[in-house]
Structure 1
Amino acid sequence: MTTEIPLDSPRSHTTTLAGTPKGAAICRRIARRQLAVWGLHSTHTESFYSALLIVAELAANAITHGRVPGRGFELHLTITTTAHRGTTLRIEISDPRGDKLPALPTVHAPNAQSGRGLTLIDALCDRWGTIPRHPNSKTVWAELDLTDAS
C-alpha cells in the first residue's frame, strides 16, 4: 500500500552550504528533517533511507571533488507528481566545479577505500545524471519514484 504525500505540504526545499565536511554533515541533517516533514519516513521508509544515503554520497562528492575554496554547494529537494511518472523525489547537489563531471567507475579495486559512491547512487535511485549550471558549475541529480503512475 502506498500513501500519497499530501498535496498541500511544501514540495521544494533549497539550502546553500559551506563546501566543508561540516557543511556536508549539516546537509545530511537538513535533508533528514525535510524528508521527515514531508512524511517520507513513515510513508516511504525504504525511499527515505535511500534518499538519505544519496544525499550523503552527493554531499561528500561535492566537498571532495567539487570544492572550490570560498564557494559552497547547494542542496535542492523537490517532490513532484505527474501523470507520467507518479510521485517523484528529486535530489540535487550543485557544486562550483563544472569541469569535473562524475562517471560510474568501470572497475573497482578490491581493497579501495573510495570510488563506490556513484555505484551506490546508481543502485539506490531510479535515475541520475548531471546538468551544467551557470558558468563553471554543475548539478548532480538523482530521482526516486515514490509511486507509480496510474
Structure 2
Amino acid sequence: MTTDIPLENPRSRTALLAATPKGAAIGRRLARRQLTDWGLHSTHTEPFHCALLVIAELAANAITHGRIAGRGFELHLSLATSMRRGTTLRIEISDPRGDRLPILPILPIVHTPNAQSGRGLTLIDALCDRWGTIPRHPNSKTVWAEFDLAATAPDAP
C-alpha cells in the first residue's frame, strides 16, 4: 500500500547504513537530528518521540530479519505537505530481503513476559497512522510508516 495522494513540497533525507547494530544506532542518531532540524521536537513532541521509536524498531527489524551479508539497509525520511492530509512524516526502511515480509501478529498476542523480541510490529501499528510494505527491485522491500502532523509544516532551516 502506498500513500493515496501525491505529496507536494517534500523535504527528505536518505542514508545507506550498515546492517549492524552500529549502523542502526547511526540511523537513529541521524533521524533524531533530522527531525529536530525540521522542528518536530518543539512543534510535534509526541509524534517526534513515536517516530524515533518506530525508526528504532524498523532498523532493528532490518538488521535482524532483513540482513544479507555485505549489504546494508536504507533509511529515508520525508516531511511533505498535501492539501488533503496536511503535513505527513514518512519513514522508510529498505532492506535486501524481499522474501521476508513483516506480518502483524493477530491479536490478542500472548508474549512471554521476559521475551527480548516479538513486539516491534505491534508497537509500530499502535504508534503511527499508517504503515505497510512495498516491493523494491531486485528482491528487496521497503517498510514504511506515516505520521499525520498539523496542517502547517514546521519551519525548515
* TM-score, normalization by structure 1: 0.90
Figure out how many residues of one structure are paired with residues of the other and give that number.
142
Q: Are 1:95 and 1:138, in contact at CA under 8 Å, matched by a contact in 2?
A: yes
- Structure 1's consecutive aligned runs of 4 or more residues displaced over 6 angstroms after TM superposition are none
1:63 aligns with 2:29: no
Say whether 1:140 aligns with 2:153: no
What's the RMSD between the two structures over aligned residues? 1.7
Alpha-carbon distance between aligned partners in 1 of 2:131 and 2:92, rounded to the nearest angstrom: 10
Instruction: Give the counterpart letter for 2:112 in structure 1.
Output: P
Alignment of 1:81 onto 2:81: yes
Which SS does the other structure have where 1:50 is aligned? helix
- 1:109 Cα deviation (Å)? 2.5
1:28-43 paired onto structure 2 within 5 Å: 28-43=28-43
**Counterpart Cα distance in 2 of 1:78 and 1:59:** 16
Identify unmatched segments of 5+ residues in structure 2.
Answer: 1-7, 153-157
Alignment correspondent of 1:4: none
Amino acid at match of 2:132: G
| 2:155 aligned partner | none
What's the offset of the Cα at 1:105? Answer: 1.4
Q: Is the 8 A contact 1:108 1:115 kept in 2?
A: no
Tell me, what secondary structure is at the counterpart of 2:87?
A: strand
Report the Cα distance in structure 1 between the residues aligned to 2:17 and 2:112, rounded to whole angstroms: 34
How far 1:110 moved relative to its partner?
A: 3.1
Amino acid at match of 1:141: W
**What is residue 124 of structure 1 aligned with on the other side?**
127
**For residues 148 and 118 of structure 2, what CA distance do their matches in structure 1 show?**
25
Q: Is the 8 A contact 1:77 1:90 kept in 2?
A: yes
Cα distance in 2, alignment partners of residues 131 and 19 from structure 1: 19
Distance in 2 separating the partners of 1:108 and 1:122: 17
For the pair 1:27 / 2:27, whether they are aligned, the reply is yes
* Structure 1 residue 148: Cα displacement: 4.7
| SS of residue matched to 2:22 | helix
Equivalent-residue separation in structure 2 for 1:15 and 1:108 (angstroms)? 36
Q: Secondary structure at the match of 1:11?
A: strand
Tell me the percent identity.
75
